[in-house]
Structure 1
Amino acid sequence: MLSHEVKQSDALLNLRSYVGRFAPSPTGPLHFGSLLTAVASYCDAKANYGQWFVRIEDTDIPRIYPNSEAHILSCIDAFQFEPDAEIIFQKDRFEIYEQALEQLKQFDAIYACQCTRKMLGSNHIYAGTCRDLNLEFADQAIRLKVTDQQICFEDRLQGRQCSDLQHELGDFVLKRRDGIISYQLAVVIDDYLQGITHVVRGADLLDNTARQIWLGSLLGYPSLSYMHLPLAMNDQGQKLSKQNLAQALDIAQAPKLLQQAILALGQPAVELNQPRIMLQQAVQQWDVNLIPKGEYLTGTYL
């Protein structure tokens, strides 16, 4: 078995300027779990004298929830986050993603797939059914080839992570039959084009990381630093999510919610004040070592 090792350390990555991001998907309004990611990514970037960008990941157009993009933008304003660049929207960037697919096609790294969900059944490991059929790309799903090798990386919070894509997932989709660009492709392309060096996000995205490392390596992109945060839970023991109808952030309660997020991340309390002042104090006190370990936070959040 081959091994694809992502060797990285904060010391090495800090030789490059720190560029972080908050990249919510508008499939529903922002909730407290989203706020945790925004606060952690912002504080980590600013504590390292870096930049912090906001990107709206809205490639899955049929799933965009009405007014959710407006809610995201209003939350950025209400919590007084200060992005260091203009906010970008992935739905405006499909031509860029198509160019990347063309590049991968030239590498013989992708192929057309005619398999439907009904044909695949419940098996989540794709068996490579269409890999050698040389189907035309038009009106078909596009899959990325994976090989039998371990992909390992050191998560700053969760520790060493390893995955074998071939045995755990199989070749995965970069573009759906209906033309929708997958999250995996769009996030890798945009992280590269925006010069992102550090990714801070929820632990629910941890199992996507190996796929993104593999795709980035095929395109010759530099490796990134990853930190996956523990997830906030509701009183039913479910992670806060749009699917579980997590309560939308109330911008009228921004200072109170911000204080709650800072404490949930294990950080010292800040004085209840304007969100901008609270964030400045949180940045000054920021300590990654205080963030709770594991994939879930104790306690419940609405």
Structure 2
Amino acid sequence: MRTTPLGSTGLTVPIQGVGCMRLGASRGPDDDRAAVTLIHRALDLGATLLDTADLYGGGRNEVLVGRALGQRRAEAILCTKFGVVPTPHGELGARGDAAYVRAACDASLTRLGTDVIDLFYLHDRDHSVPIEETVGAMAGLVDAGKVRHLGLSNVDSADIRAAHAVHPIAALQSQWSLVGREIEKVLPVCRELGIGVVPYCPQGAGGLNLEPYPRSRPPHIGEVSPSLEGVVRDIAGRHGVRPGQVALAWVQQQADVWGVAVVPIPGTTRVAHLQENVAATELVLDGADLDRLDRASRNA
């Protein structure tokens, strides 16, 4: 797979990675074996950027990813996130104080079975703590050799600037797809500061696969309108590919539109879908395709 510099901090990554959140979700041995098989196939295909978080499965996802890598750890660019925590009321909150940053990193290193995290993200902003404190503690992890590069998720332009002033930020992870384009508000700042973009749910949490079965999506990811579905299906048919591959290629090619590195991390639990996703990196949409998709997306 082709590679790209992700931001300006010296991190080079494949142009597509894998979101690991759903792996091992059923907690059965067959599911775990399937997850290991998928991760090994991703490495074989060059989709070596693997993304997890301490939130996923209460840490179990990190354990599974770490076990799957095993002796192949050196082949992977291992990314994880911290900062989203359960509250006493059963909801999710955020924590970003310096002591927690350090403790969260140590816990993730243990679960992942590694001595260094390649890309360590702040998963969500703790508004009770200055972001300078949070990122300052993250920078200390870089100095300690526990983390190689820093990333942010779910932040605005002001947060990005404040964080980058403390320590160079390699990547912003956010939802970005034909049915979710809020990230585009902060892309000029990413371009200015040399920060790469790592879109999660680039296929609209599966909605843009346009498969005939019910699916649920997070509330911040929109429905696929009939007009957008028609355009995606038409372009897919003309290229002889699946609709989800068109959706992925659209996100991928936004790198040229916005002048930033774009590295989608589609999630899947099936090797067949993984292989389709990777194949989408070779799909080139022409200017007319991109214009049609852009107009259908904005008018949805």
Scaled by the length of structure 2, what TM-score is found?
0.29
Higher relative contact order (Cα pairs below 8 Å, separated by 6+ residues): 1
The structure in which a higher percent of residues are helix is 2
Scaled by the length of structure 1, what TM-score is found?
0.29
